[in-house]
Amino acid sequence: MFQKLSQRLRPSEDVDRDAGLTLVEVMVAMMVFAIISVGVAYSITNALVLTRESRARAIATNLAAQQVDLVRATQNVFTVDAKEIDSRVSGIDFRLSQTVRWVDSTSTVTDCGTGTGTLQYKAVTISVSYTGQRSITAPVTTETVLAPSDRINDPALGTIVVKVTGAGGTGNPGVAVAIAPAAVPNGASAPTTPAVTNTQGCTYALKVKPGNYSVGVVESGNLDIKQVAAPKTTPVVVKAGTSSSVSFTYDTAATYTLKYASNYSSSVLLPTDLETTFVSTLGGVQTVKSAANPATLFPVAYTVMAGGYVAPIKDDKGVVTNTPCVDVDPSAWAATPGNGAGQPLTAVAAPPGGTATVDVPMGVVRLPKMNGTATVVATSVGTKANGDPGCNTNKAYTFTVSGQKDVALPFGTWKFSVVVLDLLGVVTAQSPVTLDADAIRTRGTIDKSTGAATLDPRPAG
Q: For position 144, which CATH number holds?
A: 2.60.40.10
Q: Assess whether 243 and 100 both reside in one domain.
A: yes
Would you state the pLDDT for residue 459?
93
Q: Of 220, 251, 282, which closes a domain? A: 251
* Of residues 434 and 23, more confidently modeled: 434
Q: What is the pLDDT at residue 76?
A: 87
Torsion of CA 327, 333, 336, 339, to 10 degrees: 100
Q: Does residue 233 share a domain with residue 88?
A: yes
Co-location of 234 and 107 in the same domain: yes
Could you tell me if residue 289 is inside a domain? no
Q: Does residue 18 belong to any structural domain of this protein?
A: no
Does residue 222 share a domain with residue 369?
A: no
Question: 72-76, 313-317, 318-322, 395-399 — which one is most confidently predicted on average?
Answer: 395-399
Among residues 251, 273, 304, the one where a domain terminates is 251
| 227-285 confidence digits (pLDDT tens) | 999 999 999 999 998 899 999 999 999 999 999 999 999 999 999 999 999 998 887 78
Report residue 47's pLDDT band, with 50, 70 and 90 as the boundaries: low
Q: How far are the Cα atoms of 101, 168, 211, 214, 341 from residue 162, in angstroms, in the given order?
A: 14, 18, 17, 12, 47
Question: Over the stretch 286-313, which tens digit does the pLDDT of each residue have?
Answer: 777 665 689 999 999 999 999 999 988 8
User: What pLDDT was estimated at residue 5?
Assistant: 46
383: confidence class by pLDDT, cuts 50, 70, 90: confident
- Nearest partner of 363 among 256, 260, 259, judged by Cα: 260
User: Is the pLDDT reported for residue 4 higher than 60?
Assistant: no
Q: Domain tally for the chain?
A: 2
Which of 190, 225, 251 terminates a domain? The answer is 251
pTM: 0.78
Is 316 a member of any domain? no
Task: Verify that 107 and 236 share a domain, yes or no.
Answer: yes
Report whether 408 contacts 338 (CB < 8 A): no
Q: Name the average pLDDT for the chain.
A: 88
135 inside domain? yes
- Look at residue 397 and give its three-state secondary structure: strand
Is residue 207 in some structural domain?
Answer: yes
Residues 6+ apart with CB under 8 A from 392: 323, 324, 325, 382
Identify the band that residue 56 occupies on the pLDDT scale cut at 50, 70 and 90.
Answer: confident
Whole-number pLDDT of residue 24: 76
Residue 127 lies in a domain: yes
Beta strands in 219-323 (DSSP E): 222-224, 232-238, 243-252, 254-260, 275-280, 285-289, 295-297, 302-306
Same domain for 94 and 240, yes or no, is yes
**Which pLDDT belongs to residue 2?**
46
**How do residues 59-110 score in pLDDT, each as one tens digit?**
888 999 999 999 998 888 888 989 999 999 888 899 999 999 999 888 888 8
Let me know if residue 258 belongs to a domain.
no
Q: What is the pLDDT of residue 384?
A: 84
Whether 62 is covered by a domain: the verdict is: no
The pLDDT tens digits for 144-203 are: 998 887 778 888 999 999 999 999 999 999 999 999 999 999 999 999 999 999 999 999
- Helix or strand holding residue 307 (H, E): none
Which structural domain range is residue 82 located in? 77-251
